[in-house]
Amino acid sequence: MSGMGRRVRDFWRVFRRSRQGVLGLVILAIFVLIAVFGPEIVGPPDRAGTYPPYLDPSLEHLFGTDRAGRDIFTLVIHGTRISIVVGIVASVITVLIGASVGIIAGFLGGRTDTVLLAGMNFFYVLPTLVLAIVLATLIGPSLLNVILVIGITSWAGTALIIRSQTLSIRERTFMDRARAYGASNARLMSRHVFPNVFALILANATLTVAAAIFLETTLSFLGVGDKTTWSWGRILEDAFDAGALTLGKFLWFVPPGLGVVLVVLAFTLVGQAFDEVLNPRLRAREAGTFEEVVEISYEAPAGPASPPPAPASPGGG
């Protein structure tokens, strides 16, 4: 078995011990299957007036119809694809920006680190939702713009985490050996730093997807999302504007709302499980023994024990 295959096997062996991680993975698998195959099964979203408005749930319309006579079940299925795609693509942009800035700042240090760190802190302390609303309003409410807005407003947290890890890696012995062989900074960052922070990037990416899906839903619910596609957030906005709660049309807003909650929860559970797999101290803490944590964190150097102190010389003389 190749080295990569062995690492994947070892990773899965540890990951499957986490019940919450496996649960999150199962939930994600269900929603991914719905996102991939669901729209092909139910067909395109209905046009306004296709059916009578406000029909009650039935075998033909599982969730009923909305105020414009569209089948709500079909909209929810399409919303699953849109919300998950937006979350994943926006997360990729966020992680690419955050990881790149974090590695460069932590590795180069000096004035570069000072300038980039100031930018990280600036974006980190800004209210992400407020900044996203302003940008989405300025550049327009298309799906691509929503993805870009989420990506460029959510990278600072990832950058700060990766920078902290890079600061530790650049001082290790193998980095000194690579420098001695004449490796350039670009090679050091791409061949030595990046592989050592990749696991942290992966764990952080799962949590970023959850945040991106929630932010997209919020933007669409507030009316600054894409009006040409049906994400979960747009369905919730439409239901709220029509007074679905007052009308008792619970299947209009409960399914998309529950979808957001379950997908965000699933990504969070998987992210926490990744963190446990990649962090031996967390695995030891989950085992419930303080001694295991101490043993992992503070390994005593090998060698003979210190000799006992010599007995005091007798008095007198």
**Per-residue pLDDT at 46:** 86
Query: What is the rounded CA–CA span in Å between residue 70 and residue 47?
Result: 6
Is residue 71 domain-resident? yes
**Per-residue pLDDT at 182:** 84
CA atoms within 13 A on the CB side of 13: 6
Strand partners, 71: 65
* Residue type (1 letter), 262: L
> The tokens of 246 are what?
């007052």
Q: How far, in whole angstroms, is CA 295 from its chain's centroid?
A: 31
**Per-residue pLDDT at 175:** 87
Query: What is the rounded CA–CA span in Å between residue 125 and residue 140?
Result: 24
**Per-residue pLDDT at 202:** 85
Query: What is the rounded CA–CA span in Å between residue 179 and residue 166?
Result: 16
Whether the CB-CB separation of 128 and 218 falls below 8 Å is answered with no
**Per-residue pLDDT at 302:** 39
Number of domains in the chain: 1
Is residue 7 domain-resident? no
**How far is residue 221 from each of residues 44, 78, 233, 234, 293, measured CA to CA in Å?**
22, 16, 5, 6, 45
pLDDT tens per residue across span 17-69: 888 889 999 999 999 999 999 999 999 998 888 899 999 999 999 999 999 99
Is residue 6 domain-resident? no
Residues of the chain with pLDDT under 50: 288-317
Look-up of token digits 């964190």: 297
Query: What is the rounded CA–CA span in Å between residue 286 and residue 20?
Result: 12
**Per-residue pLDDT at 9:** 77
104 by Cβ neighbours in 10 Å (0-12 / 13-18 / 19+) ranks as: buried
- CATH at 59: 1.10.3720.10
**Per-residue pLDDT at 282:** 54
Is residue 257 domain-resident? yes
Is residue 311 domain-resident? no
Is residue 1 domain-resident? no
Instruction: Give residue 213's domain range.
Output: 20-290
Helical H segments across 192-289, by residue range: 194-221, 232-241, 244-247, 250-278, 280-287
Burial 249-279 (b: 16+ CB within 10 A, else e): bebbbbbbbebbeebbbbbbbbbbbbbbbbe
**Per-residue pLDDT at 284:** 54
Which among 81, 66, 57 has a CA at the least distance from the CA of 263? 81
